[in-house]
Amino acid sequence: MMRCLEFYSGIGGLHYSLVGARKDAVVVAAFDVNPLANAVYEYNHGLRPIPKDIGSLSARALDAYRADTWVLSPPCQPYTRQGHQRGSEDPRAESFIKLLEKLEGLDHKPKYLLVENVVGFEESATRSHLAETMRRNGYITQEFLVSPLELGIPYSRARYFCLAKLSPARFPDPSGDFRVATGPPLAGDAGPPTRAPLRDYLLPELDYASYDVSSQVWSGCLAGSGARRYLGAVDIVSPLSRRCCCFTKSYSRYLKGTGSLIAANAVPLEGGAGSRGFVDDRGLVHIHLSKVSPEDRENLEKTDDEILDRLVLRYFTPREVANLHSFPQSFGFPDQVTKKQRYSLLGNSLSVAVVTHLLEYLFDDGA
């Protein structure tokens, strides 16, 4: 049995990755201060996370778990482009830094560690501190920036990962030691697998009205004034598209930069109009005016308002977001968790497929 500790456990994306990568992996304890995330975690994994500030855990308490593996996804706000990028100075980075400091005093150091964070973390002072702490404690590290796109999943969610293993264990490809690489480890020369269309990740049937975008925009119930103004800046995809944008915790509350919308009846237009062109169910071509040149604009008859009316534009459902995050079909939410809360919890989570891939690489000691 491989004993694992899951820090900043949220709804347990790392838990699924652990048991996916190692049949004998058992999460002996998970830690998170968010009561709602903990309720969803318990509902799915049958284990109640410990609602303690991770920075306050003592070395003695950590040692008592005799864990072989630590997986950690600390808060990303200190490192996001939207945030103030205060890194280690941000109070939300404190618990992670305090936890790292405990490693030194442990009798039973974990043999394997995986840390997940946003792209940008690799340039932070916290990352330098992490690398230095690992080295001082006898770990070899390899770091990766990986998106599900590179595993054939039509979902763009690039994230930073640090894998660490206690020496003398070795990585299968030692040439990556103490380096940051783009793309998954051992990707091979064959290139990325063919990407599936989004259609494969969508629900066959759903209550369309609950996910309709246009009525929400018209009625002005979206947060932030001038939501209509943002439609030109939103990524709109079709079921045949082979890529969609990262869903954040604000999906369905704000339009811009929070995740793609799907034009359920549209097919992408080949050629000139690029990703901004669609043919709707009546065969009409629509293009976002904000994305075309002034000359082309004169040739177009449609406006963004008409596009909204014509296209069956909707949000991805929480289940569809979970599918793109490669959560198993068994995953669900307790009934009392609202739709907004579901998007928020999923937006904080991660790609199970990417982390499973990385953990398989981490656990391979090349023996």
Ligand X SMILES: C[S@@+](CC[C@H](N)C(=O)[O-])C[C@H]1O[C@@H](n2cnc3c(N)ncnc32)[C@H](O)[C@@H]1O
Residues annotated catalytic, as ranges: 76
Looking up tokens 């652990």 gives 18
d(CA 242, CA 145): 20
316: helix, strand or coil: coil
Q: How many residues bind ligand X (CB under 6 A)?
A: 22
Angle among Cα 314, 316, 320 to the nearest 5 degrees reads 150
Q: Which stretch binds ligand X (CB under 6 A): 2-10, 19-27, 129-137, 250-258?
A: 2-10
Neighbours of 303 (CB within 10 A): 12
Q: Is 250 in the site for ligand X (CB under 6 A)?
A: no
Interface with ligand X (CB under 6 A), residue from 126, 241, 326, 348: 348
Shortest distance in whole angstroms from residue 293 CB to ligand X:
40
- Asked if the bond preceding 168 is cis, omega within 30° of 0, the reply is yes
Q: Is 101 in the site for ligand X (CB under 6 A)?
A: no
Paired with 5 in beta bridges are 29, 70
DSSP 8-class letter at 224: S
Nearer to ligand X, 124 or 348 (CB): 348
Buried b (16+ CB within 10 A) or exposed e, 2-20: bbbbbbbbbbbbbbbbbbb
Shortest distance in whole angstroms from residue 166 CB to ligand X:
23
Interface with ligand X (CB under 6 A), residue from 2, 4, 14, 236: 14
Shortest distance in whole angstroms from residue 37 CB to ligand X:
5
Q: Is 8 in the site for ligand X (CB under 6 A)?
A: yes
Interface with ligand X (CB under 6 A), residue from 5, 13, 20, 252: 13
Q: Which stretch binds ligand X (CB under 6 A): 27-35, 81-89, 106-114, 187-195?
A: 27-35
Nearer to ligand X, 184 or 347 (CB): 347
Q: Is 349 in the site for ligand X (CB under 6 A)?
A: yes
Q: Is 34 in the site for ligand X (CB under 6 A)?
A: yes
The backbone torsions φ and ψ at residue 55, rounded to the nearest 5 degrees and listed phi first, read: -65, -20
Shortest distance in whole angstroms from residue 157 CB to ligand X:
12
CB 302 within 8 A of CB 280: no
Nearer to ligand X, 238 or 252 (CB): 252
Nearer to ligand X, 73 or 147 (CB): 73
CB 44 within 8 A of CB 24: no
Q: At 233, list the tokens.
A: 């800046």
Nearer to ligand X, 45 or 276 (CB): 45
User: What contacts 204, CB < 8 A, 6 or more positions away?
Assistant: none
Convert residues 41-80 into a mask of x (bound to ligand X by CB under 6 A) and - (unbound). Answer: ------------xxx-----------------x-xx----
Nearer to ligand X, 40 or 227 (CB): 40
Neighbours of 54 (CB within 10 A): 21
Closest CA to 92 of 74, 80, 73: 74
Q: Is 31 in the site for ligand X (CB under 6 A)?
A: yes
Output the DSSP codes for 147-198.
-GGGGT-S----EEEEEEEETT---SSGGGTT-EEES-TT--SS-SPPPPPG
Residue showing the smallest CB distance to ligand X in the complex? 10
CB 237 within 8 A of CB 262: yes
Nearer to ligand X, 115 or 307 (CB): 115
Interface with ligand X (CB under 6 A), residue from 163, 350, 358, 359: 350
Q: Is 148 in the site for ligand X (CB under 6 A)?
A: no
Interface with ligand X (CB under 6 A), residue from 29, 32, 62, 185: 32
For binding to ligand X (CB under 6 A), which residues are involved?
Answer: 8-14, 31-34, 37, 53-55, 73, 75-76, 95, 348-350
